[in-house]
Amino acid sequence: MCIHNSAMNWTHHTATINGISMHFVEQGSGMPVVLCHGFPHLWFSWHRQITALASAGYRVIAPDMRGMGQTEAPPEPQAYDIDHITADLIGLLDHLGVDKAVFAGLDFGAFAIYDLALRHPQRVRAVIGLENPAAPHNPDEPPLSEYRRMGGEHFLHIEYFRVPPRADRELAAQPRRFLHKVFHTLSGAGNYFDCFKHPPGTSYIDAMAEPPALPWHWLSELELEFFVSEYSRSGFTGGLNWYRSMDLKWAQRKPFEGVQSRVPAYFLGSEHDVDLEGFHGDDPISQMRAIFPDLRQVRMIPAAGHMVQLEASDQVNRILLDYLAEIAAA
């Protein structure tokens, strides 16, 4: 199914890919660029990049990732392992008749494209990671065990998400309140680590500080409403399953320990990103270079946080266009 949005010149598609119904947005022609979001995001997280990149001569493809937005959400966490996620992306290329593409990803979308580059390098022209650099995992302990210990000391969102159905029900009951709070908490103006002041067992919504009223300089009420509308319809279980499958992904990454990818890589981060500050160690760029030795450029944006493509859209667009021009010229 194909629906054209004349206002933005976006074309919405729904197709059966890798056994699920996948929704994606497409605009432009030229070198294919696939934009992969994380949680609790959507294809719409890239809406300020899609037209900017398409207008510069690129074919931009922004899927709703498995379990989120209008893409089908299998109920079991096992359906969100690396094999399924990378097969989704390969299936998307096959559906579009694309041999090789540049992949950009943020949050879980970044890890998806790194896994893809290691497993299917012939389909990846380059990777552009935003906020979350590629990193080796702890070879001795599955991540959910590690986070369970941390979550026994104070609130931790990953531990809160780990066991259904509490998080599923609480977030679905208050989607606007959750999204309003979490977008601010993860932004450069928020402070996720204040959540650690709350004891284990606290709900994520209660652990986050009250955000200022919209509009913010980077997010309008109408934009928030798009996310609220989509998650009100789909629920949050699909996105939460990306966390619940972390141990499965950990096991699937073990054969790739010490393996380096020859795929060209680029990184874009922000100086106030919670993941870079708290979850990637003291030297995350060196860790990424150990996996992607052909790491060609690293840029950092001041003041912004984890929602960088919305918080600093113009800067992100300029940097992405610089990266893509270099990739296209190679």
> pLDDT tens, 11-21?
999 999 999 99
- The reported pLDDT for the residue numbered 7 is 55
**Domains delineated in the chain:** 2-329 (3.40.50.1820)
- The reported pLDDT for the residue numbered 279 is 74
pLDDT at 285 over 60: yes
pLDDT at 42 over 80: yes
Residue 283 annotated among the catalytic residues of the structure? no
pLDDT at 139 over 90: no
pLDDT at 249 over 70: yes
* pTM over 0.95, yes/no: yes
Q: Of these residues, 157, 180, 272, 306, which one is catalytic?
A: 306
* 303 against 73, higher pLDDT: 73
pLDDT band at 6 (very low <50, low <70, confident <90, very high): very low
Residue 107 annotated among the catalytic residues of the structure? yes
Cα atoms found within 13 Å of the Cα of residue 55, Cβ hemisphere only: 10
pLDDT band at 1 (very low <50, low <70, confident <90, very high): low
Q: What percent of the chain has pLDDT over 90?
A: 92
Q: Of these residues, 64, 107, 115, 273, which one is catalytic?
A: 107
